[in-house]
Amino acid sequence: MTIDTALYILAGLPITIAVTGLALIFGAIIGFPLMLAAQSTFAPLRLLTVGIISLVRSVPPILWLFLIFFGLGSGLITLSAFSAAVVAFGLIAAVNMAEIYRGGMVAIHHGQYEAATALNFSKYRLYCDILIPQMMRVSIPSAATYAIGLLKDSAVASTIGVAELAFRGNQVSLQTYRGLEVYAVVGLLYILLSLPIAALSREAEHHLRAKVSR
Amino acid sequence: MDALLMGVTWEDIRSWLPSFWSGFLVSVRITLVSLAIGIPMGFLFALGVQVKNRGVRYLCLLLVEVGRGAPALVLLQFVYFGLPSAGLSIGAFVAACTAISFNTGAYTSEIIRSGLAAVPAGQNEAVMALGMTRWDGLRFVIIPQGVRVAIPALLGFAILVFQGTSLCFAIAVPELISRAYDIGSMQFFYFPALGVAGIFYVAICIPASFIVSWAERRAGAYSQR
Amino acid sequence: MKASPVVKLQGICKSYGSHAVLKNVDLEVQAGEVLAIIGPSGSGKSTLLRCINYLERPDSGVVAVNGLAVQGGTEPKRNELFLLRRSLGMVFQSFNLFPHMSVLQNVSLPQQRVLRRSRAEADKVSMQLLDRVGLADKAQQYPGRCSGGQQQRIAIARALALDPKVMLFDEPTSALDPELGLEVLAVMRQLAESGMTMIVVTHEMGFAENVSDHAMIMADGRVIEYGASRDVIRSPKSERAIRFLRAVNER
For residue B179, give the CATH number of its domain.
1.10.3720.10
Partners of C94 on chain B (C-beta within 8 Å) are 122
Residue C109 CA to its chain's centroid (Å): 21
How wide is the angle at C-alpha C194 spanned by C-alphas C193 and C195, nearest 5°? 90
What's the CA gap between C224 and B45, in Å, rounded? 50
How wide is the angle at C-alpha B190 spanned by C-alphas A57 and B94, nearest 5°? 65
- Beta-carbon contacts of residue A13 (< 8 Å; ≥ 6 apart): A165, A189, A193
What's the CA gap between B150 and B152, in Å, rounded? 6
B132, C110: Cβ pair inside 8 Å? yes
Residue A214, pLDDT score: 47
Q: Do the beta carbons of residue C170 and residue C200 sit within 8 Å?
A: no
A178 or B100: whose pLDDT is higher? B100
The total number of structural domains that make up chain A: 1
- Interface with B, mutate which of A56, A146, A180 (most B CBs under 10 A): A180
Q: What is the pLDDT of residues C23-32, one digit of tens each?
A: 999 999 999 9
What's the CA gap between C58 and C74, in Å, rounded? 9
A190, B82: Cβ pair inside 8 Å? no
Residue C1, pLDDT score: 43
Maximum Cα–Cα distance across chain A: 70
Phi/psi-derived region of residue A85, left when phi > 0, alpha when psi is between -120 and 50, beta in every other case? alpha
Domain that holds residue B75: 2-224
Q: Which amino acid is at B45?
A: F
Find chains touching chain B: ≥3 CB pairs under 8 Å: A, C
Q: What is the pLDDT of residues B174-217, one digit of tens each?
A: 999 999 999 988 877 888 899 999 999 999 999 999 999 999 88
Q: Does A76 touch chain B (CB under 8 A)?
A: yes
Q: Do the beta carbons of residue A31 and residue A98 sit within 8 Å?
A: yes
B126, C97: Cβ pair inside 8 Å? yes
Q: Which fold has domain C1-87+165-251?
A: Rossmann fold (3.40.50)
Question: Cβ of C239: how many Cβ atoms within 10 Å?
Answer: 9
Q: Does A179 touch chain B (CB under 8 A)?
A: yes
Q: Do the beta carbons of residue C23 and residue C2 sit within 8 Å?
A: no
A155, B205: Cβ pair inside 8 Å? no
Helix (H, G, I), strand (E, B) or coil at C192: helix
As a whole number, mean pLDDT of residues A24-40 equals 94
Q: Closest-CA residue in chain A for B189?
A: A71
Helix (H, G, I), strand (E, B) or coil at C19: strand
Residue A208 has pLDDT above 80, yes or no: no
- Interface with B, mutate which of C81, C94, C96 (most B CBs under 10 A): C96
Question: ipTM of the assembly?
Answer: 0.89
Residue C223, pLDDT score: 95
Helix (H, G, I), strand (E, B) or coil at C169: strand
Residue B222, pLDDT score: 55
- Identify the CATH number of the domain in which residue A32 sits: 1.10.3720.10
What's the CA gap between B176 and B201, in Å, rounded? 9
- Beta-carbon contacts of residue B164 (< 8 Å; ≥ 6 apart): A60, B72, B100, B103
pLDDT band at A204 (very low <50, low <70, confident <90, very high): confident
What are the residue ranges in chain B where pLDDT is below 70?
1-4, 6, 221-225
Phi/psi-derived region of residue B188, left when phi > 0, alpha when psi is between -120 and 50, beta in every other case? left
Residue C186, pLDDT score: 95
Domain that holds residue A8: 3-211
Q: Do the beta carbons of residue C114 and residue C162 sit within 8 Å?
A: yes
The total number of structural domains that make up chain B: 1
Find chains touching chain A: ≥3 CB pairs under 8 Å: B
- Beta-carbon contacts of residue A209 (< 8 Å; ≥ 6 apart): A137
pLDDT along chain C (251 residues), means of 10: 81 93 95 95 93 94 93 86 93 95 96 95 97 95 94 96 96 92 95 96 93 95 94 92 90 73
pLDDT band at A46 (very low <50, low <70, confident <90, very high): very high
Q: Closest-CA residue in chain B for C81?
A: B131
Residue B185, pLDDT score: 85
pLDDT band at A213 (very low <50, low <70, confident <90, very high): low
- Interface with C, mutate which of B130, B132, B148, B151 (most C CBs under 10 A): B130
What's the CA gap between B126 and C88, in Å, rounded? 12
Q: Identify which of B71, B85, B80, B73 has the alpha carbon closest to the alpha carbon of residue B98.
A: B80
What's the CA gap between C84 and B129, in Å, rounded? 10
C101 or A206: whose pLDDT is higher? C101
What's the CA gap between C130 and C139, in Å, rounded? 7
Partners of A73 on chain B (C-beta within 8 Å) are 190
Listed in order, strand segments (DSSP E) in chain C are 7-16, 19-29, 34-38, 60-65, 68-71, 88-91, 166-170, 197-201, 214-219, 222-228
Partners of B78 on chain A (C-beta within 8 Å) are 179-180, 183-184, 187
Residue B223, pLDDT score: 52
Report helix, strand and coil shares of chain A as percent, to nearest 5.
Answer: 85, 0, 15
